[in-house]
Amino acid sequence: MSVLVMKFGGTSVATLDRIRRAAKRVGREVANGHRVIVIVSAMSGKTNELVGYVNETSPLYDAREYDAVVSSGENVTAGLMALTLQEMDIPARSWQGWQVPVRTTSAHGAARIEEIPDDNIRRKFDEGMKVAVVAGFQGVSPEGRITTLGRGGSDTTAVAFAAAFDAVRCDIYTDVDGVYTTDPRISEKARKLDRIAFEEMLELASLGAKVLQTRSVELAMRYKVKLRVLSSFGEQDDAAGTLVCDEEDIMESKPVSGVAFSRDEAQMTLISVADRPGIAAAIFGPLSDAGVNVDMIVQNISEEGRTDMTFSLPTDQVARAEKALLDARAAGGLDFRDLVSNMDVAKVSVVGIGMRSQSGVASRMFRVLSDEGINIKVITTSEIKISVLIDRKYMELAVQALHDAFELEKAS
Amino acid sequence: MSVLVMKFGGTSVATLDRIRRAAKRVGREVANGHRVIVIVSAMSGKTNELVGYVNETSPLYDAREYDAVVSSGENVTAGLMALTLQEMDIPARSWQGWQVPVRTTSAHGAARIEEIPDDNIRRKFDEGMKVAVVAGFQGVSPEGRITTLGRGGSDTTAVAFAAAFDAVRCDIYTDVDGVYTTDPRISEKARKLDRIAFEEMLELASLGAKVLQTRSVELAMRYKVKLRVLSSFGEQDDAAGTLVCDEEDIMESKPVSGVAFSRDEAQMTLISVADRPGIAAAIFGPLSDAGVNVDMIVQNISEEGRTDMTFSLPTDQVARAEKALLDARAAGGLDFRDLVSNMDVAKVSVVGIGMRSQSGVASRMFRVLSDEGINIKVITTSEIKISVLIDRKYMELAVQALHDAFELEKAS
């Protein structure tokens, strides 16, 4: 018995008519001989409505009650999807998280799935059920309370079910038809990728390409779940969408697979910091305590015992970071002359597993930007990624120039 | 530890603001030293929206999926009520039916509560929780699926919790401020009753006074739950509303407590039926098989071996009843000359436990109607009720005349 997992996001189940269209896709996979586990999100807009109720009722809400309220949207879609499939004469039933049960940690609002026993659903499959419809995004804590997995959590639900049922594939139906070499709104030359490696997808997801929840990609990588991203709209064939898979299943030989970017980065510089051993800890300790997520860090060459320290962070954490650093200076643990924040920056990254075997990617990237007259403020690299911080006004130019330079519009 | 049950209907929790007003009432009872179990309905309109989704998806729906979908509205209100109470610094948490668990039969859409274990909630009370907020209208079947109790089921949830926790009282907050001697829209002399006996309330509920679900009154009577109906709107004191209680707790000595009426009754007459033993079975057997709920029955005096048979039934079952009787005649099991239906009738009833001890109520009722020139078509009586079928155009006149004659505007 081969199990296929299909996940439909909020826009794919936004109306009864769209639920019917999604159910038809499920019906085709049943006709292909699969048992299908369908993971559904809430109808788009419903979760936001519920979150709005909670925030208006209690700005500092009890996360357990938040979860009890916001999880209800998925329950509605799951029941409606099961009814729609039944109308098509496909044996189906719905499952809420606690019914499976999807066992999670007690970290309400951001719970992690710990275990999905497969016996209840398998027994129903054995009795003739063809489709199990499961409410995504939710689970149940060891205390028997409802938990949610955080925004985008239905992707993670889908991958976790695919792992638990050893599924042949996990298809994520969404409002885009796959993963692109870059955002088509920035570069019209953007090309849909047929395949992408888990590690590349992870870098892209965390860099701001909002196709899949990062955690779902981590989970798919760990459990070797074949993950496919494809559109709920328009006709599909088996080769549709983008397959996120193991590195060895990828044939492309290019050093770079995609160009990512993020506008939500700010740059902060501490000027004339007294340079001494332990200075990095004196700066980043207080920031960490204040919950600031520092990304890139550059320390300038030290002169006469003083140095400048530059780092990047999410724009919405700048005020918190400034307070933490000024407090640290006032407390005497940190000595700097000035603190300068710059919100008009952007991060641009090239990502590709090919970098492991092909050298010269960094120097080529820097030359391309230099030729366009774009100044690089900060650089970070990983094994399969090079990121630069630049003035935000040059972001689109940089993305297009890099897309051209690495010939991403051409399939290899 | 004295437990009080408070139930808030859909209009009482229709907005976040109304939920706050309801929470304030709960807070006052907590301040009075009670532990409170709050039963909530869905925000008004929500359940209808969900029922609409189901009906549009699947006209002949799977009742198990119907229940999974329509129960979600109560979950939202329960979480929001708990959050609102927490904002007022009152320790509270929400419970969905399966979490208590509210164990029911598997009769989806019209399940009966079988058991409510009190240990989970009592343990939380012992740990300092002051209010348990429970989603009304729902439970869980022996198979672990979500059930609902039928429309108005939250009243039944409330009474069942009051019985399970041996509550001091069960307060039903609704959009009317109690039970009246008759509908104030029909008679401006209608007076709110301070107390009414369970059996009177049962007769009134089934006669069309839509204040409480009939099943909740039956349950309260069986378990001796003191039931109070009162309004969520406007200020309340302890004597507010109407207390539904045991007969021995009632001081009123009037023979009649209230005048009820129903417009949804039709009269049907079979003319010239061959009168023979078993004729009633030949008529009412096919009607029962067709799901027709016959209420009042009159058989005229038989002459020359033939008789007329008149009965009343809900207006929306007339077509079905006609078909059943004509089919029975065609099949040869029943012989009558003509079938006449009359939709322009109404049922008017006087109800009162005082009838048991005071005679002459029926003759007084008939004289009052006669004095107003109102012809009585059918009569039925029980120990505490007399009902008559009359022309619908006289319904308001009959109600007002009876209300005057039995002096219901005066407290006894």
Beta-ladder partners of B60 = none
Which structural domain, as residue segments, surrounds residue A164? 3-175
Tokens of A129: 């059920």
pLDDT mean over A222-242: 82
Cβ pair B79, A51 in contact under 8 A: no
Instruction: Give CA–CA dist B211/B219, Å, rounded.
Output: 15
Mean pLDDT of chain B: 91
Report pLDDT for B18.
96
pLDDT digits (tens, 9 = 90+) for B263-302: 888 999 999 998 787 788 889 989 988 888 888 888 777 6
Q: Identify the sign of the CA torsion A47, A51, A54, A57.
A: negative
pLDDT digits (tens, 9 = 90+) for B120-176: 999 999 999 999 999 999 999 999 999 999 878 999 999 999 999 999 999 999 888
**A278 lies in some domain:** no
Cis peptide bond upstream of A101, omega within 30: yes
Tokens of B15: 């907005």
Residue A16: pLDDT band (50, 70, 90) is very high
pLDDT mean over B50-70: 94
Contact A72 B72 (CB under 8 A): yes
Beta-ladder partners of A147 = A139
Q: Does A376 touch chain B (CB under 8 A)?
A: no
Which residues of chain B neighbour A72 with C-beta distances below 8 Å? Answer: 72-73, 75-76
How many domains does one find in chain B?
1
Given a cut of 70, whether residue B219 has pLDDT beyond it is yes
Report pLDDT for A12.
94
Say whether the ipTM exceeds 0.90.
no
DSSP B62-126: -HHHHHHHHTHHHHHHHHHHHHHHHHTT--EEEE-GGGTT-EE-S-TTS--EEE---HHHHHHHH
pLDDT mean over B182-203: 90
DSSP A212-231: S-HHHHHHHHHHT--EEEEE
Query: Between A and B, how many CB-CB pairs are < 8 A?
Result: 103
What separation in angstroms does the CA of B238 have from each of A80, B192, B230, B326? Answer: 45, 15, 10, 57
DSSP B391-409: EGGGHHHHHHHHHHHTTTT
A183 in a labelled binding site: no
> How many CA atoms, within 13 angstroms, populate the side-chain half-sphere of residue A156?
23
Tokens of B240: 């507010």
The domain that holds B36 is classified in CATH as: 3.40.1160.10
Long-range contacts of A357-365 (CB under 8 A, 24+ apart): A358/A255, A361/A255, A361/A256, A361/A386, A362/A386, A364/A405, A364/A406, A365/A402, A365/A405
What separation in angstroms does the CA of A49 have from each of A53, A56, A59, A73, B46? Answer: 6, 11, 15, 10, 13
**A116 lies in some domain:** yes
Q: Does A147 touch chain B (CB under 8 A)?
A: no
Residue A255 DSSP symbol: S
Contact B68 A79 (CB under 8 A): yes
**B236 lies in some domain:** no
Residue A252: pLDDT band (50, 70, 90) is low
Instruction: Give CA–CA dist A156/B141, Å, rounded.
Output: 29
Q: Does B89 touch chain A (CB under 8 A)?
A: no
pLDDT mean over A62-81: 96
B10 in a labelled binding site: yes
Which residues of chain B neighbour A58 with C-beta distances below 8 Å? Answer: 83-84, 86-87
Given a cut of 70, whether residue A412 has pLDDT beyond it is no
Cβ pair B328, B312 in contact under 8 A: no
**A156 lies in some domain:** yes
SS (H, E, C) A4-45: EEEEECHHHHCCHHHHHHHHHHHHHHHHCCCEEEEEECCCCC
Using only C-alpha atoms, chain B has a radius of gyration, in whole angstroms, of 24
Q: Does B16 touch chain A (CB under 8 A)?
A: yes
pLDDT digits (tens, 9 = 90+) for A130-184: 999 999 999 999 999 999 998 789 999 999 999 999 999 999 998 888 899 998 8
Q: Does B366 touch chain A (CB under 8 A)?
A: no
Mean pLDDT of chain A: 91
Report pLDDT for B197.
92
Stated pTM of the model: 0.82
Instruction: Give CA–CA dist B249/B225, Å, rounded.
Output: 13
Instruction: Give CA–CA dist A35/A32, Å, rounded.
Output: 9
Instruction: Tell me which residue in B78, B87, B93 faces A57 most closely, judged by beta carbons.
Output: B87
Given a cut of 90, whether residue B184 has pLDDT beyond it is no
**B402 lies in some domain:** no
**A166 lies in some domain:** yes
High-pLDDT (> 70) share of chain A, %:
97
Given a cut of 60, whether residue A238 has pLDDT beyond it is no
**B129 lies in some domain:** yes
Report pLDDT for B238.
53
Instruction: Give CA–CA dist B151/B149, Å, rounded.
Output: 7
Contact A84 B57 (CB under 8 A): yes
Given a cut of 80, whether residue B23 has pLDDT beyond it is yes
Cβ pair B412, B253 in contact under 8 A: yes
Instruction: Tell me which residue in A16, A64, A93 faces B53 most closely, judged by beta carbons.
Output: A16
- C-alpha closest to that of A173 among A19, A363, A55: A19
Q: Identify the sign of the CA torsion A171, A177, A182, A185.
A: negative
Instruction: Give CA–CA dist A398/A372, Å, rounded.
Output: 8
Report pLDDT for B307.
85
For B87, nearest residue in chain A (alpha carbons): A58
- C-alpha closest to that of B186 among B403, B407, B33, B345: B403
A370: left (phi over 0), alpha (psi -120 to 50) or beta: alpha
Q: Parallel, antiparallel, or unpaired for β A3-8 and A35-40?
A: parallel
Q: Parallel, antiparallel, or unpaired for β B195-197 and B297-299?
A: unpaired
CA distance A2 to chain B (A): 26
Which residues of chain A neighbour B50 with C-beta distances below 8 Å? Answer: 76
Query: A266 Cβ partners below 8 Å, 6+ apart?
Result: A312, A313, A314, A315, A317, A318, A341, A342, A343, A345
Contact A79 B69 (CB under 8 A): yes
High-pLDDT (> 90) share of chain B, %:
67
- Find the range with the poorest average confidence among A144-153, B218-227, B235-244: B235-244
Q: Does B42 touch chain A (CB under 8 A)?
A: no
**B38 lies in some domain:** yes
Cβ pair B410, B403 in contact under 8 A: no
